[in-house]
Structure 1
Amino acid sequence: MATDIQNLGSFVWTIAEILRGDFKQSEYGKVILPFVVLRRLDCILAESKDAVLEAEKSLPDGVDEATRDMILFGAIGGNVKVYNLSRFTFDKLRGQDPRQLHDNLVDYITKFSGNVRDIFLDKFLFTDQLKRLKDGGILWNVFERFCEIDLHPDSVSNLEMGYLFEELIRRFSEISNETAGEHFTPREVIRLIVDLLIANDDEKLTGRGIIRQVYDPACGTGGMLALTEEALKDFNDAIRVELFGQELNGESFGICKSDMLVTGHDPEQIAFGNTLTQDAHAGKRFHYMLSNPPYGVDWKKYQEPIKSEAENMGFDGRFGAGTPRISDGQLLFLQHMISKMRDDEIGSRIGIVMNGSPLFTGGAGSGESEIRRWMLENDWVEAIVALPTDLFYNTGIQTYVWLLTNRKPANRRGLVQLIDASGERFWKSMRKSLGSKRREIPEEARAEIVRIYAGFLNGDSGESDVSKIFDTEDFGYREIRVERPLRQRFEVTDEGIEALRDSKPFQRLDEDEQDRLLEFLPDVLGGENDTSPNGVERGLRKIATMAKIKLGAPLKKAIVAAMSVRDEDAEPELDKDGNPVPDPQLRDHELVPLTEDWHDYMEREVLPFVPDAWVDRSYTDARDKLVGRVGYEINFNRYFYRYVPPRPLEEIDAELKALEAEIAGLLKEVAA
């Protein structure tokens, strides 16, 4: 099938040669993609054209739009939710005067049912492209080539159409240097996510009268939705699957909605717009949710409504756990999906593929860490699967599938399974790379990953190298602030003088005041003078009197900072209450596992080496108010690190000598 689709994609691609010169390469998709959709709809509706036109003639006067649509949909038969009231089809248009083709095509497009007409006019802006084709004198040539393609469902299935769209989008993205991965996910990755989502749901999906609602908040062309439905139907052909989604890209939305129309789904359940700022499915809850949100895409221009929702609505909104850094919005999508989990006996399951950033970016107290904390403390994270690199069309980076549910089985409660499926046993090289995609997950490897997950295999099950199970608290730590006393002496040096000259409080003095201060400074505070904190304070008051300068707190602080020299042998400085003054330069932070008491950690890891250290008890967590800030991170490398010993020196030396000999031989050939 893949070869046939590539051949069909190559044929469609030849149409781009006609566009060359009249359209930029980055604009090819604006013509070809809507034409493919139009041809697909034409092939589907051609057989019922006469029946629909007859049904339209028999409609009673004053019939409302909903009734009209119902009658005309019925005239087509099946689950198709689109009709066309133009007298034309592609075959009939082909027989008309070529000079009238533009007007006839506009008539054809504008007489679709409203749910499709809006796609062509508002999302594809197709009439604008038709005018450009007409003005360039190439409209007939392009139309003729599309007439040669048979896109009837008997020839090209809905699944194959999805592949065709992906093949075309990938090619258009490559030539225009755009990110194809924002539009779709490789099919074997989607199949893996779907298989993982339903792996242990056999009992829940067995029987008749079962309805499952599936949602993708960044649905692109609808590939994830389509494959989820296919998998559920394969398991139980009596199941009813309702698909929901939202998409920001107009062309991808148009393709997805068109697919819903011809497969019998409610097209109104696919919404257009920004999911993060305009939730088109507010209040809805879903059984299965899956997504591949954009990686590393900033949300700066959308930040105002998102932060407003987080601050004003808290956990009554979608982002109560916190917001990640402005440069990456992946965790916003995940929080959005969690907000749509069903609170019933069945609950919900989520599968989302993200890069490594959501696993460990952000320290204790950061937005990312607080989101991870919220998910783990609520025990929603069931498993995380590390995928091979070079799987996606627009990036070769490492990606991870997160699996979440609010209805964990008893044996998984309080636990998280990590699966490292990045090794060679889980992928094979492709014969021909597709963009950055050089590898794929074969079917047997996908089955193996699902087996490891479904079996909840741990190290003691013979999978210690790829699957490990942890308590949720194992990923948490408490960041404590460790202080050491300030030990310093006061010394007037040339370097200190220069540092003082560069300070802003000193520069605010007029020139005479600066000179007087520098004149008295060495005599009063240098040499054998008392350089203890109290002695320095007395010396500064003396300088102020002698130089007739008002020494405010900022200037005093600048003088002390410039003339202070750290001295490990000096006595610790004490505050007015007799407590050691902490040295900011020696301040450190220790990450104490949540499973351990920080007192014990200090006794073992810190005090034997720096016995004068202490923990700043004012450095507390904003939520539990205990000493230290709580953080969570999931570091796959820490848990699955494999030591690879270096090669023997003799082997490396022999290889270098062989290379030297080869280079010498090549140089002789050049010289000859």
Structure 2
Amino acid sequence: MSQPQGFQDKVAFIWKVADKLRGSFKQHEYGSIMLPLLVLRRLDAVLEPTKSAVLRQAQSYGDKSLGPGEDFVLKGIAGVPFYNLSPLTFRTMLADDKNVAENLHAYIGGLSPAAFEIIERYDFTGKVARMDAAGILYGVLSDFADLHVGPGEVSNEAMGHIFEELLRKFSEMSNETAGEHYTPREVIRLVVDLLLSGQTAHAIEGATVPVRTVYDPAAGTGGMLTAALERIQDLNSTAKVQVYGQELNPETWAIARSDLLIQDVGADNMAFGNSLTQDAYPHTKFDYMLANPPYGVDWKSYAKPIQDEADTHGFAGRFGAGLPRVSDGSFLFLQHMLSKMKSGSRVGIVLSGSPLFSGAAGSGESEIRRWIIENDWLEGIVALPDQMFYNTGISTYVWILTNTKPTHRAGHVALVDGRELFTKMRKSLGDKRKYVTDDAIDQIVRLYDDLPDDPRVKLLPNETFGFQRITVERPLRRRWEFTDEVLDFLPEKARAVFAPSAGTAVATEREFKVLVDGMAAVAGGLDAKTQRAILKAAAVYDENAAPVLKKGAPEPDADLRDFENIPLPAGYIAMSDEQRAKALHEAAETHLHDEIHPYVPDAWIDHGKAKIGYEVPLTRQFYVYMPPRHVEEIANEIRDLEAQIQEWMKGLGL
């Protein structure tokens, strides 16, 4: 896997510095100290060439507070949208080893508001005091002062790798889920290339000075946003790209915010908070949206505002299609993103296998898939190799959605099987043991774009993924018999009266009640509860008995009830509601006649219980049947192995 030069050296250096925290801090706290210090050192290195000029200009303002005009001038001199008015640097703050903590606080306090907010999010003040009290602050800062992370030495891409690798390591130490925070860079590139594939790239190139907006509601360290920005500008160097994101984790938010701040590409648009409950952009629509939301994360703790929005606003809100089970909020992020589409928008999202098929017909997940597919928004799904992520080895899938499909894809979904297009890593990183090379990414994108005649590609009608779940009933067939179980329900006095009838059976419930009433009268009567218990215990299944009728119709037997999924009729999605109802009824009756009645002639379908479901059985679509080996072939192989073992044993003198 291609990684920036010197990437691991920087990580190893910082990892060694973290060892100085041992004994003074618990391991799970290391990341909350090393990461903000790395951010500070990066900011310090970026500001170093212009620091003197910024300070001279600031001094010319005297003691007056800085207004928007002065702030604008200082940013212009710094060459980036932040500055530091403290005369200290990482090196000079160490000159007085007895006041290092005060110097560090003064240095942080000199940061302009946008940069100060980043460090503030780490809740850093208390940790500085603890390091100072433990006598390790000077040594830690000295090491960071020797760390060379200026833009000329470490690119933004390399800096992203450094942050993410440290985040992964610190997350493992504290048993956190590193994969919730960031996505491997080659996966990001694949998602971005799929998102910008086909007619979208043409649209970017076609505009004179296009303005494109990119949004990630689970931004992590911001890698997807910056990758999308760079790729769009590769397609059209004149494009003006505005990035927007939101992130819940304060540490990763700070990393993303600092990265965007240094690049001057919209750091103010990196919002902090939960995008599902505190949407920072409720009225904004975007051209491109992409995300790798956390897999299988429970959203029960913040379910109420989501449920309230769904109940109150329905489809006018974000969650009108349905709510997934509380054990996995992936579909909440997808619905959130779809609510922000404008004409021509495209969405790319990385999901686990669960959203493909979890949830029966009528469930929240199935209804969400139904809403997406029947609106013809699902353009395609690409299956990725397993073991691609740092915290999990599960299989993952890239969904591409748009509300403006090209003509040749309208009404269809493209499936691409990229599970075998991987290269094994020489050394694993957490659970990540495979990666996708640039050539493999290009190959996957070509398969997705060109839809060639290839076993790894399928273009299927939308109806392929829908089904009607029918309820198949069979008649209740019973005889009523005085069994020992029936006698057990009777009081001692009544049992003597009923005992001679043990083994007696009748064909109908009515006949049995007549017998019971007669004997009950002799026994002095039975209460209603006992009579109901006797009737229930006496009912015995008999496949040769006549069906039990209720209001002239056979009563269904719940024990024999079955459910079957049958494909939707061709053209179902384009039909009117009346046409759909008729087509579904006819399809169900045809299935009953052709597939069920030859084996169970007394079955019928309860059409009132039918439900429509949607799922995407991707692996089933690419399943290739492998016939079992012939018995004689296996036997010959066993005989050969036995002969080989015998030869080995002879060589051992056995």
CA gap of 1:529–1:400, structure 2 versus 1, over 3 A, is closer
Residues 497, 562 of structure 1: 8 Å contact kept: no
Matched ranges for 1:133-172 at <5 A: 133-172=131-170
Residues 91, 142 of structure 2: 8 Å contact kept: no
Corresponding position of 1:427: 422
Deviation per residue, 1:520-539 (Å, 9 max, x gap) = 55456x44464511112334
* Aligned equivalents of 1:664, 1:334: Cα separation in 2: 63
Matched ranges for 1:259-658 at <5 A: 259-342=259-342, 344=343, 347-423=344-420, 426-457=421-452, 461=453, 463=454, 465-495=455-485, 514-516=491-493, 518-523=495-500, 526-528=502-504, 530-542=506-518, 545-548=521-524, 551-552=527-528, 556-575=531-550, 577-595=551-569, 597-619=587-609, 628-647=610-629, 648-650=633-635, 653=638, 657=642
Deviation per residue, 1:394-430 (Å, 9 max, x gap) = 111111100000010111110001111112xx11101
Q: Secondary structure at the match of 1:98?
A: coil
* Aligned equivalents of 1:663, 1:229: Cα separation in 2: 64
Corresponding position of 1:182: 180
CA gap of 1:516–1:4, structure 2 versus 1, over 3 A, is farther
Deviation per residue, 1:98-127 (Å, 9 max, x gap) = 110011101111221122222212x21111
CA gap of 1:543–1:49, structure 2 versus 1, over 3 A, is farther
* Aligned equivalents of 1:280, 1:517: Cα separation in 2: 74
2:218 partner amino acid = A
CA gap of 1:351–1:518, structure 2 versus 1, over 3 A, is farther
Question: Displacement, 1:542?
Answer: 4.0
2:202 partner amino acid = E
* Aligned equivalents of 2:426, 2:607: Cα separation in 1: 60
> Number of paired residues?
631
Question: Displacement, 1:310?
Answer: 0.9
CA gap of 1:654–1:614, structure 2 versus 1, over 3 A, is same
Residues 217, 247 of structure 1: 8 Å contact kept: yes
Corresponding position of 1:74: 76
* Aligned equivalents of 2:69, 2:7: Cα separation in 1: 39
Deviation per residue, 1:10-30 (Å, 9 max, x gap) = 111111221122222221111
Q: Secondary structure at the match of 1:86?
A: coil
* Aligned equivalents of 2:523, 2:301: Cα separation in 1: 55
Residues 351, 397 of structure 2: 8 Å contact kept: yes
* Aligned equivalents of 1:299, 1:664: Cα separation in 2: 62
Question: Displacement, 1:199?
Answer: 1.3
* Aligned equivalents of 2:244, 2:498: Cα separation in 1: 76
Corresponding position of 1:624: none
* Aligned equivalents of 2:364, 2:555: Cα separation in 1: 31
Matched ranges for 1:238-253 at <5 A: 238-253=238-253
Question: Displacement, 1:276?
Answer: 1.0
What percentage of aligned pairs have identical amino acids? Answer: 46
Corresponding position of 1:507: none
Deviation per residue, 1:459-479 (Å, 9 max, x gap) = xx2x0x210111001111111
Residues 381, 404 of structure 1: 8 Å contact kept: yes
Deviation per residue, 1:255-289 (Å, 9 max, x gap) = 11111111112222111111111111111111110
Residues 159, 226 of structure 1: 8 Å contact kept: no
With 310-319 and 649-658 compared, the bigger mean Cα shift is at 649-658
Question: Displacement, 1:644?
Answer: 3.1
With 168-177 and 65-74 compared, the bigger mean Cα shift is at 65-74
1:142 partner amino acid = V
Q: Secondary structure at the match of 2:553?
A: coil
* Aligned equivalents of 1:266, 1:659: Cα separation in 2: 70
Q: Secondary structure at the match of 1:290?
A: strand
Residues 85, 111 of structure 1: 8 Å contact kept: yes
With 56-65 and 137-146 compared, the bigger mean Cα shift is at 56-65
Question: Displacement, 1:92?
Answer: 1.3
Question: Displacement, 1:432?
Answer: 0.7
* Aligned equivalents of 1:210, 1:517: Cα separation in 2: 92
Matched, 1:109 2:108: yes
Corresponding position of 2:9: 7
* Aligned equivalents of 2:156, 2:494: Cα separation in 1: 85
* Aligned equivalents of 1:161, 1:663: Cα separation in 2: 57
Residues 479, 506 of structure 2: 8 Å contact kept: no
CA gap of 1:560–1:437, structure 2 versus 1, over 3 A, is same
RMSD, matched Cα: 2.3
Q: Secondary structure at the match of 2:289?
A: strand
* Aligned equivalents of 1:63, 1:24: Cα separation in 2: 41
Residues 481, 505 of structure 2: 8 Å contact kept: no
* Aligned equivalents of 1:336, 1:55: Cα separation in 2: 45
Question: Displacement, 1:83?
Answer: 1.4
CA gap of 1:491–1:73, structure 2 versus 1, over 3 A, is same
Corresponding position of 1:89: 89
* Aligned equivalents of 1:663, 1:99: Cα separation in 2: 75
1:636 partner amino acid = L
Residues 388, 421 of structure 1: 8 Å contact kept: yes
Question: Displacement, 1:515?
Answer: 3.5
CA gap of 1:521–1:162, structure 2 versus 1, over 3 A, is farther
CA gap of 1:132–1:63, structure 2 versus 1, over 3 A, is closer
* Aligned equivalents of 2:493, 2:152: Cα separation in 1: 96
CA gap of 1:255–1:658, structure 2 versus 1, over 3 A, is farther
* Aligned equivalents of 1:335, 1:659: Cα separation in 2: 61
CA gap of 1:517–1:478, structure 2 versus 1, over 3 A, is farther
What 5-or-longer segments of structure 2 have no aligned partner? 571-586
Q: Secondary structure at the match of 2:98?
A: helix
Corresponding position of 1:31: 33
* Aligned equivalents of 1:50, 1:383: Cα separation in 2: 54
